[in-house]
Chain A
C-alpha cells in the first residue's frame, strides 16, 4: 500500500547585519515544486527587509526567486510556510528532470572533488559490491559511519573530502562526500536540499541529501546523514551539482559590517 503523508513546514531565516545595508541581493531556492511523489498544497515565501524582484526556473528546474534588500535594512527575515503531501517511493523518483544531460551530473565541483579519503572509500565499495544500487547503499552506510554529525566542524565552503578525512560534518558534507564518491564510480549524482520530518518538530537547519542515477530505476535518493533512502518524510526543495547550485539562500551585498544568520525550521506531520 502506498503511504501518503501531509507535512507542514515553517522555515524562518533571519539575517541580522551590524550596520544598515545600502544594497544587496538574495537568491532564494525556497519553493518546492510538485511532482509525482510530492504535491505542494500551499506555499508562501514572505520577506521582511527585502523585496522580491523576479522569479524563474533555473537549469535544474528549480524555482528561484531573486530579492533585493530594502535600502537601509539591518534585518532581513525570510518566512516560508506551506503544506506538502508526500508519497513514499522508497527513494525512487524515476526519470523526472528537465533537459540537463546525465553526463552533467558526473562533473566534479570544488566541493565534490574526491581526494585520498574518498578514493579509498570508492575502491573499498567497488571491491565489496558489484551492482550499482548495492554499491550506493554500501556508500551510504560507510558515510553515515565515517562522518559523525558535528555542527560547526565544517562550513558552507567545506568539501566532502575534508569532512570524510576528518570524520566530522553535517548533512551537507555527507551529501558532498556521497557525490564525490558516486561520480568517481561513474554514477551521475546530484545534491538535494529540502526538509525532513524528524522525531522533534524544531530543527536547526534545513536538510540535504543526494540522488544518483541508476539505469532502469532513474533518480534514486540516498540520505547518508541518516543512513536511509528518502521516504514520505522528505520534501525536495532544489537540486544541483552541489550546495552552491541548490542552496536555499545565497546572495551578495555591498555594505559594511558582519552578518549573523539564524535559521528556524519546523516540520510537522498533519
Chain B
C-alpha cells in the first residue's frame, strides 16, 4: 500500500523519514480502524486495509483509484466540505455510506482537517464507537511521537528532494550539521550538487552521476550507493546514500538517508594498507617461510619455501601438514631427528628454536621456529623459517682450510685481510636477515566482497555493524605483525611523500635511531644508505618511489648509523601497491652484512692471490714453448710441432681465464680505477675493429660500422671500453659461422650513447637467455661450437658496463631463416650497451683491469 503525504499529524507529515519506513506503512495498514483521506475537493486519495475491509473490498487489491465514498445522505458531503474550511478541529458526526454491494454502512465519522502547503486535506476516520475514537487518536499520537524521535535523533542525515530540479525540500538537524548548513532555509535553497565535489572518485562529474542515481531511485523505488559528499563550502567526506522513492498521488519525490562513513572508511583503508605493507615486507625478504595454525595445520607458505624444498604444486595444494612433513623428511640426512624437533615444538607452544639441518643433497638449512602470539597472548600458530646457509657455512670452512694450507707459500704477500678471515666465526645471529612472501594469508577478494556485503546490510537496516569484519582484519594484521616483530631484519616503510611511517625494533638497533626520532619525518633526515662513498645517498629509495620497481643498493651497500659509524648491509626495497596497483609507498628491508662482506672480500682476495700465483708458471711455460716452436734449440718434427702448438694454445687459454678471474675479483672488490679521457667514439671503435681484421678474414666474416652523424666526443676509459668491445666482438666472431656478417652501430638517445654489436651467428637459445650473464654459464649451442669459452666473459662485461652506470642487454634471435627443407631456424644475436652522454666518471682505485 502506497503511503500518502499529509496523513496523520503535522509531525509525521513533516518527517520524510516516515515515508521510507516500513514501520509507517505497517502503522496504517495494521491499524484496526478504517482510515480514509480525502483531498479538499472531497476526492479520496488514500484508504487503509481496514477501510477496504469495511467497504467490502479485497484488502490486497490496489483500488485507491476506484473507491469513492458515496454518502447515503448527499448533505453529509456538504457538511464535510464545511469542516474542511473550518480546519484544525476534530469533528464527530454520524453518517452512512454505500458499500460495494449496495448496502448502507453506518458509522461515526471522526474527522480533522490539516493544512499542508497549498493544499488542505482532511483526515477521515470511520469508526464504530466513540470510545474507539479516542483510543485511535491516542495510538496515532504515540506512533507519531516515536517516529518523530527517530527522525530527530537519527545519526544519519535524512532529507527530501523534489522534482523537477531535485532541490532539497527539508531535512533533519543531523543533515544540517553533517553538511555544515546553517538552517532549513539555507538548506532548501541548494541541491545535492552543492554538497558534492566536482568529480566522484571514479572520475565522473558529480552532477551527472547524481542525476543517474536519482533516476535509478525513481525508476527502481530505491537506490543505495557510496558517494563522496562535500560539506557546504567545506571538505569532502565519504558517505553511504540510501534513496527511496515517495509517491504522493502522481507526484514523485525522493527521500535520502545519508550516513557519514569517512571515519570507518579511513580506518578500513588504514587497515588494508597496513596489511598490504606487512605483506609486502614479507615479500621483500629471502627466507623460506611456512606458517601453521594453532592446530599445526598448514596455513600458508611463501614462494621461497617451495623453492628451497622444491615442493611440487600438488603436494602443496593438499595443504596437508603430514604430506608436507613426509615430503620434506625424505630430503633430510636425519629425518627422525627433524620430526622429533617438530613434535617437541608443537607440544611446547611458547618455545623458540634455532638449529642447522643437513639435507641429503649436501645443502645445510638453518631452521628457525617461533610461535605466533598476538597482543592478548593468544597462541595463533607457529612460523618456520628456513634459510639455505650452505654457502655461508661451506664457503667459510673451505676458504679457511684452503687459506691455511697455502698460507706458508703465500706468506710473503698474503694481505692482512686473508689472515683476518681466520677470525671470522659463523655467526648464527645473522640468521634472521630475511623473510619472503606469505602469499595466501589473506584473500583480498574475499575481504572485498564481505566488505561490500556488510555495508549493504548495514545501510538497509540503517543499523550497521562492521565489527565482524573489523575482527577479521584485526586478526590477519596481528598474525603478520607478529611475524615481523619476530625477525631481526631492519624494516622501515615510507609513504609516497617519503615520510617514514613504520620502523621496526631491528631497524632501531641497526641504525641507532629510535622510532620516535624517525616516524613522520622524511627518510632523508635520518636514513643514510649508500653504495659507495661517491654515490648519492638513499638513491635506491628515491628510484623506487619514482619508478615503482624493486631496487637494491647492491654489492657495496652500507649504512651510516646515527653515531656516524658505517656498517656494510644487504638491502632491498619494494614498492607497496594497493589492489588497484597504485603505489602507496615502499618498504625497505636491510640487515647487517658485516660477516658476509668479510667472507666475500676474503674470497675475492683469495681468488686474486691464487690467480696471480698461476700467472707466473703460465707465462714461464709460454716462454719455453716459444723457444721450442722457434726452432732455436733444434727443429721439431711435424707431430712435435703440432703438440707444442696445442700446448701453447692451452697456455694462452689458461692465461685469459686467469686474467678474467682476476678482473672479476677486482670488480667485486670495487678496487679498480676508472680514468676517463675525451675520445671520438668512432676512432676508438675503428681502432679496436682493426685488431680484429685478421681473425675476421680467417673466417671470411664481413663487418660494417655505422655511426650516427654529429655524435659528441665523450669521456671514456678506453681500457674499460675496449674490454667490453673485445668481449662482444670475440663472441660475435666465435659464434658466427663462416661468411657471416657483423655490424657495429653507434647512436644516441636523450641520455645515452648506445653501441650495438649485431651478428648473424647461432644466436642464444630462449631457455638459456635468462642465464647468460651468470658466472661460468655457457649455453649448449655455444659449447658445441667453441669448447674453449670460459663462461666468464659476459658476466665480467656486464659488471664493467655497470661500473660506468651503463646497461648491457641483448636480443636474440635477430631474424629467422629457412634451411633447405624449409624449416625455420633462429639466427643472430644483438648485444647493446650504453654509456651516459655525460661520460664515465673518474673513480680512484688501486688496480687497473687487465685487457
**Do A and B come together as binding partners?**
no
- Which residues of B are in contact with A by a Cβ distance under 8 Å? none
